[in-house]
Amino acid sequence: MSGELRVLVVEDESSTREEMAALLSDMPEVAEVHSAGNGAEAVRLLGTTTIDAAFLDILMPGLDGMDVARVLSVLSEPPSIVFVTASEAHAVEAFGIGAVDYLLKPIRPERLADSVGRIAQLRRPENGGSPAEDLHVVQIDTGRRTVFVKRDEVQFVEAQGDYVRLHTAAGGHLIRLPLSYLEEVWASAGFVRAHRGFLVAIPWVRDLRVTSSSGLVAGTPAGDVPVSRRHGRHLRQQLLEAAKRDQLGRAARPRDGEHDPQQAS
């Protein structure tokens, strides 16, 4: 191990724990690998060891992965969190907590390597360029073709298991990225958390309104985005600030020289 990441694996199945530790030890970004067989052991280890990334099994007896993640989130320098589980059932909650990735068992080495590479980039952006700059355009490989989606065309983002769906005027595009990762790197472009499973691009928001089926939603040309109580106040404040700068709904307006059918005589 010659890298700089200090990694913790928390997994109650010994075979899976040993396999992940071995795979991580061979990765060039990783300097140290620590292991814990349950949540309580992991919390005790945190009292004596500083870590940069934690790979947490969700379903464990006693303190589960979600519990450990909440402990990690209150540290002065919280590590990056990756959840590991056999089910996608907890994906939305996991990304709501702030996970950078969500791995499904059995662990594929290439997916584990992707997570480690993403963590290394997030923790050392000066060495690889700004992650936000890298995602001005998102490249999506569908097997038969490659689609290039501009960040400014994305109106909202929806978490869907191990993926997110980028909603644009032309339709939806599925890509394997954590919602929390996009929240971090696209914040400067006006993307704000509206719900634990949704980001919305402030420049595309037309209004906030209450519906009978979904409650409070943020309206965009690509569709309505649910707004939770937890994130509603912050979203309203961001919309107010955008309105003061005359930026609210700007992305939905016709560009100079374009025809606006609503103003047609």
Does some domain include residue 217? yes
68 plus 136 within the same structural domain: no
Question: Taking the model in full, what pTM does it have?
Answer: 0.52
Report the pLDDT averaged over residues 56-83: 88
Model confidence at 260, pLDDT cuts 50, 70, 90, reads very low
Edge-first strand order for the sheet with 101-104 is: 30-36, 5-10, 53-57, 80-85, 101-104
- Tens-digit pLDDT profile for residues 83-124: 998 877 666 566 666 778 888 888 989 989 988 988 888 876
- Tens-digit pLDDT profile for residues 22-54: 999 999 999 999 999 999 999 999 888 899 999
11 plus 69 within the same structural domain: yes
Extended beta strands in 99-252, E state: 101-104, 137-141, 146-150, 156-160, 163-168, 171-175, 191-195, 198-201, 207-211, 215-220, 223-226
Distances (CA, A) of 211 to 23, 44, 219: 49, 47, 11
148 plus 168 within the same structural domain: yes
* Max CA separation in the chain (angstroms): 72
Burial track 27-52 (b if 16+ CB lie within 10 A, e otherwise): bebbebbbbbbbbebbbeebeeeebb
Model confidence at 141, pLDDT cuts 50, 70, 90, reads low
Q: Is the pLDDT of residue 187 over 90?
A: no
Q: Which amino acid is at 242?
A: A
Q: Domain range spanning residue 213?
A: 131-251
Domain boundary among 79, 110, 128: 128
219 plus 144 within the same structural domain: yes
Specify the pLDDT at position 102. 83
Alpha-carbon dihedral angle through residues 202, 205, 209, 214, given to the nearest 10 degrees: -80
Backbone angles phi, psi at 86, to 5 degrees: -90, -5
Alpha-carbon dihedral angle through residues 125, 114, 166, 81, given to the nearest 10 degrees: -70
Among the residue ranges 73-87, 199-213, 230-244, the one predicted with the least confidence is 73-87
- For residue 124, give the CATH number of its domain: 3.40.50.2300
- The candidate with the shortest Cα–Cα distance to 84, out of 102, 61, 67, is 102
Specify the pLDDT at position 148. 86
The total of structural domains in the chain comes to: 2
Residue 262 in tokens:
């609503």
Residue 48 in tokens:
């004596």
Q: Is the pLDDT of residue 13 over 60?
A: yes
Residues 207 and 54: their CA atoms lie apart, in Å, by 39
Arithmetic mean of pLDDT over the chain: 83
Residue owning tokens 């464990």: 60
